[in-house]
Amino acid sequence: MNTQTGSKTKAQVWVVENGKMRSRLDQLTTEEPLEIRLALFQKTVAVTMRTPGADFELAAGFLYSEGVVNSREDIRRISYCVDKLVDGEQRHNIVNVELRDGLIPDLQPLERHFYTSSACGVCGKASLEALRLRGCPVIPSGTIVTPEIIYSLPDKLRAAQGIFTATGGLHAAATFNTQGQLLNLHEDVGRHTALDKLIGTALLSDELPLNNCIVLVSGRSSFEILQKSTTAGVPIVCSVSAPSSLAVSVAKEFGITLIGFLRGERFNVYTGYNYTNLHLMLIRKKDCVPSHIY
C-alpha cells in the first residue's frame, strides 16, 4: 500500500541483502499529471507530469518559456480548479491561469505540449527555428566567473535538495550568482519542470531576466533546458552530465556559455565564445592554450 503526502509517497519495499530479505517503508518521489488551462479560452494548453509543489510557479514558467506571457503583468491570477459538482472541492492537479484583459496569445505553438512527459519534455518535436521566430535576443556578454566557483556548485545543489535526500529520485534546477551563492532551487521528477518552477518563481517575483545568474541542472542539458534558459536570459548553464547536440546549437546561437560533465574539479565547456572572460580566467589559471576539456 502506498501512502501519498505531497511531494513524497510512502511505499513498502522488500530489501534483499546478503541472501536475506526484510521489509521496510521507503519514500518515493510523487509523480502526478498537472493540467494547465487558460481560463479565458477554457482550453487545456498542456498536461505535464510533475512532482506536486510550486504548481503556480511551474505554470507561470511554462507559459513564459513558450511565449504566451512576457511579464508578470500578463498574468492576472493563477488558481486551482474548483469542481462545482463535488462540493466545490479544489482539484490540485488542474491549474487555471487568467491572463490580463486584452491579451490574446497565439496558442498554436502549444499544441505540441498537450502531453509532456517528466522525462523528456517535448521529445524532440521543438526546433531551433521556433526560438528564432520568437525573436529571442542573444544574451549579453560580460559575465565573469572563476573555475573555482563553477566547481563548488554541485555540492551546494545537492546539500539543498531536501526531497532528493529523502527519496533519491528527484532532479533539481537552481540559480546561483557569480560568487556561487545559491539564490533559488526547485526539485521535480523532471529536469524541465524543475526549471519551469525556477523561472516561474523569478517571473512572479519580477526578477527576470536572469542576466547575472548561473543555472545548474541535475542530469543532462537537453534542448528544452536551453530553450527555457534562453527565454529567461541565463548567460551560463551548467549540468552534471552531457548536453545534447541541439542544446549546444541553441547555446551557440544565443550566446550562452554551456558547461557539462561538471564533476569534482573538472568540467567541459561546449560553447561560450562570447564569454572571453571565462576562458581567459581558465587559461590564466592553467597557463595553457584553450582546450575542449578543462
Number of domains into which the chain is organized: 3
> Has residue 5 been placed in a domain?
yes
> For each of the chain's 294 residues, which pLDDT tens digit applies?
334 446 777 766 766 667 777 877 777 778 888 999 998 888 888 888 888 999 999 999 999 998 899 999 999 999 998 765 455 556 788 999 999 998 988 777 666 555 555 444 443 334 677 777 777 888 887 788 888 999 999 999 988 876 555 555 578 999 999 999 999 999 998 888 999 999 999 999 999 999 999 999 988 898 889 999 999 999 999 999 889 888 888 998 999 999 999 998 889 888 875 444 454 444 333 333 333 333
181 and 263 in a single domain? The answer is yes
Length of the chain equals: 294
**Cα(120)–Cα(191) distance, integer angstroms:** 8
* Domain boundary residue, one of 124, 156, 175: 124
24 and 36 in a single domain? The answer is no
197 and 256 in a single domain? The answer is yes
> Has residue 131 been placed in a domain?
no
> Has residue 136 been placed in a domain?
no
Q: Grid coordinates standing for 87?
A: 462540493
CATH number for 52: 3.10.20.10
* Domain boundary residue, one of 109, 124, 139: 124
Q: Element (H or E) spanning 134, and its range? A: helix 128-134
23 and 53 in a single domain? The answer is no
19 and 76 in a single domain? The answer is no
pLDDT tens-digit map of 215-247: 999 888 988 899 999 999 999 999 998 898 888
165 and 269 in a single domain? The answer is yes
For position 280, what pLDDT does the model report? Answer: 41
Q: Grid coordinates standing for 66?
A: 513558450
Are 271 and 247 in contact by the 8 Å Cβ rule? The answer is no
275 and 235 in a single domain? The answer is yes
> Has residue 137 been placed in a domain?
no
> Has residue 294 been placed in a domain?
no
**Cα(215)–Cα(223) distance, integer angstroms:** 15
Question: What per-residue string of b and e applies to 215-229 under the rule 16 or more CB within 10 Å gives b?
Answer: bbbbbbbbbbbbbbb
pTM of the model: 0.81
1 and 114 in a single domain? The answer is no
187 and 237 in a single domain? The answer is yes
240 and 213 in a single domain? The answer is yes
What residues act catalytically?
A: 120
64 and 20 in a single domain? The answer is no
**Cα(23)–Cα(65) distance, integer angstroms:** 44
> Has residue 87 been placed in a domain?
yes
16 and 108 in a single domain? The answer is no
Q: Grid coordinates standing for 120?
A: 523528456
Full residue range of the structural domain in which residue 225 is found: 147-286
CATH number for 263: 3.40.140.10
Place of cell 532532479: 171
For position 290, what pLDDT does the model report? Answer: 35
80 DSSP β-pair partners: 95
Q: Grid coordinates standing for 36?
A: 494547465
3-state secondary structure of 246: helix
For position 130, what pLDDT does the model report? Answer: 72
> Has residue 139 been placed in a domain?
no
pLDDT tens-digit map of 186-203: 999 888 899 999 999 999
